Structure 1
Amino acid sequence: MMENPETDTAALRRLRRAQGQLTAVIAMLENGRDLREVVIQLAAASHALHRAGFKIISDRLRRCILAEQGATCADHITEEQLEKLFLGLA
């Protein structure tokens, strides 16, 4: 079940884009395509993955901030854990 359909949809769209780009990279390598084209496509896939990760983390962070204002937050996360999540995407 999606907790925030709008954010989850955006993250899923980015993940599917990255999946398609990775499929394209594999095909490009199998077909001996130019290195520059492969690297450009690989960079695009990496960027899409990072954007999806930041979207997911920022949404959960927003919900936890709202929880401090009276809503509920299922994600109990420390500042150190949050920092590690962000750095994992850097």
Structure 2
Amino acid sequence: MQLDAEVMTAIGNRTKRAHGHLGKVVSMMEDGADCRDVALQLSAVIKALQRTGVVLVTDGMKACFETGRDLEDTELKELQKLLLTLA
């Protein structure tokens, strides 16, 4: 599935934000921050990346459906597998 540039830019921005938050987690760990605070920030990074993955896959599905092209069973199974890896 191929996504248009606008969608990829939005997904790239989400990924960059998560990257920034992950950098904060590393800094917190290096600075000896409380493990609860680190875990909370890490949880936010994980959730942001999972949501980014879901947006990526669902926008890809949307692009496929908008073309009016019927997806083959193998393509549907591949999309399902992708979504399950993000669950």
Instruction: Using structure 1 for the length normalisation, give the TM-score.
Output: 0.81
Which residue matches 1:84? 81
More relative contact order, 1 or 2 (CA 8 Å, 6+ apart): 2
Q: Structure 1 residue 41: deviation in Å?
A: 0.7
Unaligned runs of 5+ in 1: 71-76
Q: Where does 1:1-90 land on structure 2 (aligned, <5 Å)?
A: 3-67=3-67, 69=68, 78-90=75-87
Identity of aligned residues (%): 37
- Once the two structures are TM-superposed, the CA of residue 80 in structure 1 deviates from its matched residue by 1.4
Q: Residue type of the partner of 2:84?
A: L
**Counterpart contact for 1:14–1:51, Cα < 8 Å:** no
Q: How many residues align?
A: 84
Q: Provide the aligned C-alpha RMSD in A.
A: 2.1
